[in-house]
Amino acid sequence: MRKFASGAATAVTATALAACAGNGAGDADRPCEGPGTGGPRVVYRAEPTPDAPRVTRAGIEQTIEVMCARARTLGARGSRIRPVRGSRIVVRLGPGEDAAQTAVALGIPARLAFYDWDANVIGNPDQPLTDLARAVRRAERYQPRAEADDLPPTGAEQSTIDRYGGDEERIRAFYDRRNDAIGATYYAETQDRVVAGPETSCAGLAVALAPTGRPPRGESVAGDLDAAECGRRLAGRGLPAGGAVHVVPRGIRVVAAARPGGGASAGAGDDLTGAPPEPPAGWFVIEDDAGVLPDGVDKAKERKDEATGATGVLVEFDEGGATAFRALTQSIAERGAEEPSGGDPRLAVALDDQLVSLAAIDPTANPDGLDPDDGALIGNLGGAARARLLAKLIDAGALPLGVRPTP
């Protein structure tokens, strides 16, 4: 299944970190070193991601920098964000009408990934599984496939060819893994019901099952244990008797089907940071062959779709992301031209673990794919207020590490 690299994640420089922390005399110069009094306080626990498979001090600092940028974008007053022991991050904000919502919004992953939908769904791309436990059990049985068309459109970089001594199988496996949007994911199931997950590590699953329990020992490392060992580790520590741990391997993922209308009700007082009130229509299992990853996104802004009247997010790409988007959509169009009886193939966008956009590409009208200069309009986000919030979070950047509110 074809996927294209949008470039490796860029490391955050010490200069940028210093700019986030600030060293000036006023709050304007120190956006994350304000008093942090009078408003909400949230403690987050940092967790690994594919970009940062191990929680480190540098990763925490990079994550704080993005949270600082988000706080500025959301207009938070008196923000104070700093690391503390135990891989935790403390967020303190000044008072404000939306301060509590902002403090929680700072921890939303807001990670976008673009897919060739019909080529990557395992099963029926038009019929989601109605039961999450069934989807997880199906997903854990699959392994990703490294294929020749997993390579970038320009071919493998010479440095990669040299690294693997020209071994084509290992080179394909490298590119198949490099563009995974997520890593291995952990779920806990009891009585045919998923009670926790997805989590990126067994340690994360332990916290999800018993948030006020004893913290897991050791570092939080992505994909650290297999299902059997994780189950033994969590027996008596949050995993219900008779429960089981399932691990979906890296390269395979479970995404929720699109929610009707984005899943958000129309009330002005909605908590925009929480899960939409309507459950998804089901879940899909897909091979995680992302065509464009979060680091390919340059900017995002709220935009109204004139055709439908719905408010969404217009995403613009950086140079690498634009190349990847063009190549991905061209590949989709070419497959549609080769298989005209199958209907127009579709470009999909997942936001975190939710399918939010599914757009058909007409191979006759767009034989060379879609123009990345036009950006990508993502709808089905649940109304103008939610779209406005997500646009600001995406524009500020995806979090390098995952974060979870913790007591």
> Is residue 4 domain-resident?
no
Same domain, 87 and 176: no
For residue 370, the model assigns a pLDDT of 93
- Please calculate the CA angle 262-136-343 and round it to the nearest 5 degrees: 55
Domain count, the chain: 3
As given in the structure block, the two tokens for residue 127 are 């019929």
> Is residue 49 domain-resident?
yes
> Is residue 132 domain-resident?
no
3-state per-residue secondary structure call for 134-173: HHHHHHHCCCCCCCHHHCCCCCCCHHHHHHCCCCHHHHHH
Ranges of H-type helices in 183-341: 202-209, 227-234, 319-338
Same domain, 185 and 299: no
As given in the structure block, the two tokens for residue 14 are 């010490």
Give the pLDDT confidence of 310-350 residue by residue, as tens digits.
788 999 999 989 999 999 999 999 988 888 766 788 999 99
Same domain, 123 and 260: yes
Same domain, 232 and 274: no
Residue 3 has pLDDT above 70, yes or no: no
Same domain, 365 and 259: yes
- CATH at 73: 3.30.70.3400
Give the pLDDT confidence of 86-110 residue by residue, as tens digits.
788 999 888 777 888 888 889 988 8
In the chain, the amino acid numbered 108 is I
Give the end of a domain, one of 233, 250, 267. Answer: 250
DSSP state of 117: H
How many residues are there in the chain? 407
DSSP state of 357: E
Q: Which residues of 314-338 are buried (b: 16+ CB within 10 A; e: fewer)?
A: bbbbbebbbbbbbbbbbbbbbbbee
Structural domain of 63: 14-108+400-405
Average pLDDT, the chain: 82
Give the pLDDT confidence of 216-247 residue by residue, as tens digits.
665 667 777 899 999 998 888 889 889 999 99
Q: What number of CA atoms fall less than 13 Å from residue 255's CA on the CB side?
A: 34
Give the pLDDT confidence of 156-200 residue by residue, as tens digits.
899 999 999 999 999 999 888 888 998 899 999 999 999 998 998
The model carries a pTM of 0.85
> Is residue 8 domain-resident?
no
Same domain, 177 and 75: no
- CATH at 325: 3.30.1360.200
Give the pLDDT confidence of 353-407 residue by residue, as tens digits.
889 888 899 999 999 999 999 999 887 777 788 888 899 999 998 898 989 888 7
Rounded alpha-carbon distances, angstroms, from residue 379 to 282, 347, 349: 19, 13, 10
> Is residue 7 domain-resident?
no
Same domain, 290 and 313: yes
Give the pLDDT confidence of 240-266 residue by residue, as tens digits.
889 999 999 999 999 999 865 443 333
> Is residue 56 domain-resident?
yes
Same domain, 45 and 118: no
Cα 363 to chain center, whole Å?
29
Give the end of a domain, one of 250, 278, 313. Answer: 250
CA–CA distance, 339 with 224 (Å, rounded to integer) = 42
Same domain, 209 and 263: no
> Is residue 6 domain-resident?
no
Same domain, 104 and 180: no
> Is residue 340 domain-resident?
yes
Give the end of a domain, one of 224, 250, 276. Answer: 250
Same domain, 276 and 196: no
What residues have CB less than 8 Å from 244, skipping those under 6 apart?
188, 189, 190, 227, 231
Same domain, 367 and 234: no
| Burial class (CB within 10 angstroms; exposed 0-12, middle 13-18, buried 19+) of 154 | exposed
In the chain, the amino acid numbered 152 is P
